[in-house]
Structure 1
Amino acid sequence: MSAPPTVTVVIPLLNEQPSLEELHRRIVESIELAMSQELVSGYRILFVDDGSTDGSWETIRRLTRSHPMTEGIRLRRNFGKAAALATGFAAADGDVVITMDADLQDDPKEIPRFMSQLAEGFDVVSGWKQVRNDPWHKTLPSAVFNRLVSRLTGVMLNDHNCGFKAYRREIFDEVKLYGELHRFVPVLAAARGWRVGEIVVEHHARQFGRSKYGLSRIVKGFLDLLTIYFLTGFAQRPLHLIGSAGLLGLLLGGSGLTWLTFRWVWTRSFADLEPLHLHETAIFYYCITALLLGAQCLSAGLIAELITSVTQPDRPPASVAEVIRSETRS
């Protein structure tokens, strides 16, 4: 029987000083409970300070002095949550990486349940804040966003926005974060063949400070969704997306011009018909525009394919789960 996995808890934060000591205490209690249940064999707690100005780093210093399994990373300025998480993932050495927010809205007591779900064969386990203690102007856009993400990506999670997640460490050898894509790690992992699950987690109202997200997050979220749709579906075959639009433009423009040509000839074949003058017909210019746009999209798709072929990322073309060979093979 294999030993239980080790865990690294990565906590990105920005100006969350009042909650850090209580959060740390709860995490330690929860992981020690998981260790007593033989779900975890060892752990690290890693705080990533994303440019805090409220004394958060001083609190992290105290915690690292008093607790040997606690570490901190301080970024030189506010780089954003995705950058903070990517920094934490690069430093994590556990078999499992758990991410959670530092504002005490995520409850560390859920950690054993995350570990149990991973033990059942899942590679990513996402939290679902089924009962969410946030105002309606945050919950309503989030509900719409979650439905769109599930519909477009096929990864049927109820709460893509939840920051409380557990991952097998190997996932981050294949999934790279940039921009605001941290909330889409389960989608990116699923696109590589990793198994994604979900559990309901308890969600608490914010006790200290204020939310770091405003209305601008909604706009950014939908733009990021378009990015994810492209990356998961067409990153290795951009011509299939851009070229399809180009072929559609060529088809519409070509069909329109063919019809106009037929009408131009027809109206001049009979004396009693009023001749068709193409330069006086608006659809003639629409067809020309469609042809030009179609040709441009097709050309752009071919250039994108060329760029993709010569700038392949440093990752395998497919995600290998297991390799077996005959024991008699020399």
Structure 2
Amino acid sequence: MTGVEVSALLHVQDPGMEVDLLYRAYKEALDRTGKSWEMLFVLDGVEEPVLGKLNSLRERDRRVRILALHSSFGESVAFAAGAETAAGQYLLTLPSYLQIEPMEILTLVEELEKGAHLVTPWRHPRVDPWINRLQSILFNWIIRLIIHSDFHDLNCGFRGIRKEVLEEITLYGDLFRFLPVIAARQGFRVKEVRVRHKMELGKRGFFGLGVYIRRFLDILAVLFLSRFTQKPLRFFGMMGFILILAGLGLAAEPVIRKLLGEGSLQDRPLFLVGVAVFTFGVQLIGFGLVGEIIIFTQSKHMREYKVDQILEARDPAEEDEELPHAPEVEVMDRGEPAGLLVRGLSAGEDARWDRYVRAHPRGTPFHLSGWRRVVWETFGHDPLYLLAEEGTIIRGVMPVFRATCFAEGFRRMKVHLSVPYGVYGGILADDEEVERALLKDACRRAEADGVGYLELRDKEDRRYDLPSSDLYVGF
């Protein structure tokens, strides 16, 4: 579907789900947002009778779509698959029953419009039994205490999410529950809003022991992912140091008695336990050191921050060209749209770049940011990725690599290629004016680097008034 702004995702696990009731309630709220929308039902390993109801609904409203997974994978995988299929840039993950007042959808969309990357709810006041509320309060309090988050209701899946969040964060297991924490850690703007709690289904009272054990393990996993992914030695080193001290404490008394001649170590199992604990502590520190080595070697591809926008001053020389007489005429003569800025790709902007490439009719895998990593890591060619931006909107991109080739007489010569080891490359742009602006900037950078030539490998002749060759064979 094209032109969709909002995608509502519903995770379907119950074959008897009240499809028509949910559709009517959510449809009314989505219509009031004033945006084009779709409703995507993700069937998590279920079929009839809910599949028949959804097919009937899809016949009545073409905005209803169905994504059926062949087996049950859980909430995180279902929403990740739904996000890949969804056409909208705003994703709403909605409960499979009327847990939250449907009109709160307007609150989610409003906060996304204001600039939030993720909007998470806080059910207040709660309408479920007091024992459930107590357990939820305790769980969220532990999360806030250990992970230092500010969220009060991570158990509710009623959320508004910009698509770029799920393009950068991989969901698996039960991580969807902790998505606000991980997104905030990644530098996304996360907003918590109070919503009206309408009803609550499911188990009441205490859950099984296995549930509490899984929740404890989930908390440990999120603690590590949110605080120690870039500093593994701190986590493993702290654990290892505690175990080393414990091992020394256990083995100290038997060793002292042995040194004083008061006994043998052979009949002291406490000594063996202490040695084992000490050894395990040393191994944990070793794991942390290996993790630090991996982080160090891969750090250039790992980013802990998000770039919101970059504000740069225009080149004074260009301003002098534009100002003397008629600025409007000068801009038109230069062939560049007013307000267009051509600059290098900054760290943390890979998702924006890839979204533009995937949406462009001439985009190829060789234009994606992943090809940059492949070429850099394998061949060591320095990437120089250029993008044309008008305000905060990308209008064009151009992947370029600095490389060296052999000219006549086996003379080494520096060149700029778009792109090496791929038969496709060149400029992707909204129009010819943006193409010319990118090409002009690429030529200026090539001249500054003193290269022999700039080569654009494209599917077709783009008529840049440059020499062309049919040397390469495409797919």
What range describes the TM-score normalised by the shorter chain of this pair? Answer: 0.7 to 0.9
Query: Which region of structure 1 is more displaced relative to structure 2, 320-329 or 139-148?
Result: 320-329
Offset of residue 317 of structure 1 = 4.9
Q: How does 1:74-93 map to 2 (within 5 A)?
A: 74-93=68-87
Aligned: 1:224 with 2:240: no
Q: Does 1:302 align with 2:289?
A: yes
CA offsets 1:180-229 (integer angstroms, 9 cap, x no match):
1111110110111112221222222358xx56995344332221111111
SS at match of 1:128: strand
Deviation at 1:123, TM superposition (A): 2.0
User: Counterpart in 2 of 1:205?
Assistant: 199
> Which of residues 20, 41, 61 in structure 2 aligns to 1:67?
61
Distance 1:294 1:26 in 2: 56
**CA offsets, 1:233-289, max 9 Å, x none?**
112332221122223444565688789888987x6xxxxxxx554738787556534
Higher strand proportion, which one?
2
Residues 324 and 276 from structure 1, CA distance in 2 versus in 1: closer, same or farther, beyond 3 angstroms? farther
Give the counterpart letter for 1:98 in structure 2. Answer: L
**3-state SS, counterpart of residue 98 of structure 1:** strand
For the pair shown, which has the larger CA radius of gyration, 1 or 2?
A: 2
Residue 237 of structure 1 corresponds to 231
| Structure 2 residue 308 is the aligned partner of structure 1 residue 321 | yes
Amino acid of the structure 1 residue aligned with 2:309: E
Residue 38 of structure 1 is matched in structure 2 by none
Runs (4+) of structure 1 exceeding 6 A deviation are 255-265, 280-283, 310-315
Matched with 1:271 is none
CA contact (8 A) 1:157 1:198 kept: yes
Residues 132-184 of structure 1 deviation map (CA, whole Å, 9 limit, x = unaligned) = 33334533322211111122222211100101011122111221100111111
| TM-score, with structure 1 as normaliser | 0.81
Change (3 A) 1:256 1:18: closer
Q: Is the Cα contact below 8 Å between 1:16 and 1:103 reproduced in 2?
A: no
Q: Percent identity?
A: 27
Instruction: Provide the rounded CA distance (Å) in 1 between the counterparts of 2:179 and 2:47.
Output: 28
Contact 1:278–1:284 under 8 Å retained in 2: no
Q: 1:52 matched to which residue of 2?
A: 46
Distance 2:174 2:112 in 1: 25
Q: What is the root-mean-square deviation of aligned Cα atoms in Å? A: 3.3
Higher relative contact order (CA 8 A, sep 6+): 1
Q: How does 1:78-157 map to 2 (within 5 A)?
A: 78-157=72-151
CA distance, structure 2, for counterparts of residue 78 and residue 132 of structure 1: 30
Is 286-295 or 14-23 further displaced after alignment? 286-295
Structure 1 distance, partners of 2:235, 2:308, is 29
Distance 1:249 1:224, change over 3 A: closer
Uncovered stretches (5+) of structure 2, i.e. residues with no partner:
317-440, 442-475
Q: Assess, with a 3 A threshold, how the Cα gap between structure 1 residues 220 and 253 changes in structure 2: closer, same or farther.
A: closer
Distance 1:84 1:58 in 2: 20
8 Å CA contact retained: 2:127, 2:198: yes
Query: Alignment partner of 1:323: what SS?
Result: coil
Q: CA separation in 2, counterparts of 1:255 and 1:217?
A: 35
Determine if contact 1:97/1:168 at 8 Å carries over to the other structure: yes
Using the alignment, how far apart are the partners of 1:313 and 1:74 within structure 2? Answer: 38
- Confirm or deny: 8 A CA contact 1:104 1:204 kept in the other structure: yes
Bigger mean CA offset, 175-184 vs 215-224: 215-224
Q: Is 1:183 the counterpart of 2:182 in the alignment?
A: no
In 1, the alpha carbon distance for the partners of 2:12 and 2:277 equals 49
Q: Which residue of 2 aligns with 1:164?
A: 158
What whole-Å deviation, never above 9, does each CA across 1:23-65 have from its counterpart, x for those lacking one?
1111111122121xxxxx3211111111224511111112221
Structure holding more helix per residue: 1
Q: How many residues align?
A: 311
Deviation at 1:309, TM superposition (A): 5.8
For residue 98 of structure 1, report the CA deviation from its aligned partner: 0.9
Q: Report which stretch shifted further, 77-86 or 211-220.
A: 211-220
Which position in structure 2 is the counterpart of 1:11? 10
